[in-house]
Amino acid sequence: MEKEHKDMNENNSFKRRTILKALVGIPVLGYFAVETLRKWNFDKEKKSRVIKELGLDDIKAPKLLTGTSGKKGDLLRVGFIGFGNRAHQLSNSLGFMHPDKMKSKEEDGTLAEWLEQEDLNIAITGICDVYDLHAEMGLATAHNEVRPGGNSGQNLPAKRYLSYQDLLNDKDIDAVIIATPDHHHARLTSEAVKAGKHVYCEKSIARTEEELYEVYDTVRNSDRVFQLGHQITQNVVFQQAREIIKRDILGKITLIETTTNRNTASGAWIRHLDNDGNPKPGDETSIDWLQWLGSRPYKPFTTDRFYNWTKWFDYDMGMIGQLFTHEFDAVNQLLRIGIPTSAVSSGGIYYWKDNREIPDLLHCTFEYPDKEMTLTYSASLSSSRQRGRIINGHDASMELGGSLSVTADGDSTRYKEYLDKGLIDPSVPMISINPMSGGDIDAITSATEKYYASRGLTTTYINGRSVDVTHLHIKEWIDAIRNGSQTSANIERAFEEGVACVMANKSYLENRRVEWDPVNRRIV
């Protein structure tokens, strides 16, 4: 009896011990829950504390833009002057796509995104291109009835014009989009405005001072709506970047660095060969070469000159006109820097030893002594290392791309206390805004944000939806035509940019420092 009792006791305690063993994971899981909760609260508190103390707690993700465009009965008839590669992208943004491109987009699964784009209630009614093939592509694009937002039902016929004058004289065209090589931009804009058309012109606005002053005066003294083709600042993070600068998060800004790095033949404007290395189509029987040259000195036709015109100063300003224009506009929209006091450029043809005139390595420095600020542009066509666009302040620096990040300066006066306490780490961004993840401010940055910060700027994210920035820029222009609002890249901004670019180009060509005379409004 006693023995039995003892056995039972032993059995019970054995059971208890085994059951306890089986439950070994429970306290571990409990400890895990406690620690996870602590970490979660710590991160949340740290994030909200930094954001609150910096006064950024009321910066919110941008809402989906709602415009007044697209009203029925408000159809805008648009003509294209120049229908090359860029015009295809612009027509996509307007809501038109060439059937071939539509097919390839359908195959790679990106067509649905485009079909979600807002319908701007536009008809493309005129195409002018000196090259038959391009004009035919334009007509096919204009006549394609598949449109975003369902077809608005207004399909007007599109007509080809052999000369731009004929297109401008047509009273049935309300507005023109100029996507020609740069040497036509200023004159076409002036003539279009004089003919009563609203103008969307690709950058750069002008090649020379004379052209620039003429187009500025013409547009300024008219009631036509003008927009220069810069889409970068339509990226939603620019609104937040503006707010961060306004709140003086960066401290005193004395240096703004802009850069371009590319390392491909196409990036260096060698584009006359197709993917198989054969020359692209086009000859003098299908191209009106004299109209293409316009006012420029006569040169015999070559596919090299026709496709790679950027290589010569007769037609544009090289990297200054093609790439720095975007950089200047981005900085000018953000900081309203205006016309620089002086500009110095240097560089050379160091890598692409072909028949080009434009440098493939270029540095430009613009001084703003009254604003106590320098803007630099550093560009290479033989390295693809990305160096970003950086606004350097005494207290923090901001890198601005498709996303935005602000990193505190280790020697900042303003953040000294936070830095000492370890609340702000100068080795990682203290604020980052990635529109891809909803656009809310994230004060704890992961490698992901760093990764996206360096990415391109072709689309932006509004309420988690990918939106083409060029579409937003064109929409702004169309809204302005319809309801009299202002465009962001208006003629004043275009003029400031034009002066800065012409100054930099002049400095390179004349190998000297050039200055802006604000009294006589001339470059000296």
Partner 1 sequence: MKGTKTFTTFQLTTLVLLRLMIGWQILYEGISKLLIPNWSSAVFLRGSQWVLSGFSNWIISHDGVLQVVDFMNTWGLIAIGAGLILGLFARLAAIAGAALIFVYFLNSPPLLGLEYSLPAEGNCLIFNKTLIEAVGLLILVALPTSSILGLDMFISRFKKSKTKKEE
Q: Measured from the CB atom, is 103 or 252 closer to partner 1?
A: 103
**Cβ contact 310:359 at 8 Å:** no
Residue 486's nearest CA partner among 122, 235, 227 is: 227
Q: Measured from the CB atom, is 25 or 422 closer to partner 1?
A: 25
CB 441 → partner 1: shortest distance, Å? 12
Stretch 56-95: interaction string toward partner 1, x if CB under 8 A: ----------------------------------------
- Residue 107 touching partner 1 (CB under 8 A): no
Applying CB under 8 A, among 3, 4, 5, 24 the residue interacting with partner 1 is 24
CB 239 → partner 1: shortest distance, Å? 20
Q: Measured from the CB atom, is 181 or 401 closer to partner 1?
A: 401
- Residue 21 touching partner 1 (CB under 8 A): yes
**Cβ contact 34:41 at 8 Å:** no
3-state secondary structure of 121: coil
Parallel/antiparallel/unpaired status of strands 361-368 and 342-348: antiparallel
SS3 content of the chain, % helix, strand, coil (to 5): 40, 20, 40
b (16+ CB within 10 A) / e for 453-487: beeebebbbbeeeebbbbbbbbbbbbbbbbeeeeb
Which range in 90-98, 253-261, 352-360, 444-452 contacts partner 1 by CB under 8 A?
Answer: 444-452
Which range in 29-37, 115-123, 312-320, 364-372 contacts partner 1 by CB under 8 A?
Answer: 29-37
- Residue 376 touching partner 1 (CB under 8 A): no
- Residue 447 touching partner 1 (CB under 8 A): yes
| Residue 212 neighbours by CB distance under 10 Å | 22
Q: Measured from the CB atom, is 19 or 519 closer to partner 1?
A: 19
The residues with which 342 forms a beta bridge, in sequence order, are 367, 515
- Residue 18 touching partner 1 (CB under 8 A): yes
CB 265 → partner 1: shortest distance, Å? 22
177 vs 172: CA distance, rounded Å: 15
- Count of residues that bind partner 1 according to CB under 8 A: 23
**DSSP strands (E only) in 153-225:** 159-161, 175-178, 198-202
- Residue 456 touching partner 1 (CB under 8 A): no
127 vs 176: CA distance, rounded Å: 10
Q: CA-based angle 438:439:440, to the nearest 5?
A: 95
Applying CB under 8 A, among 55, 99, 464, 518 the residue interacting with partner 1 is 464
Which range in 75-83, 98-106, 388-396, 445-453 contacts partner 1 by CB under 8 A?
Answer: 445-453
Residues in the chain: 524
Which range in 19-27, 212-220, 226-234, 295-303 contacts partner 1 by CB under 8 A?
Answer: 19-27
- Interface with partner 1 by CB under 8 A: which residues? 18, 21-26, 28-29, 32, 36, 40, 108-109, 436-438, 440, 447-448, 451-452, 464
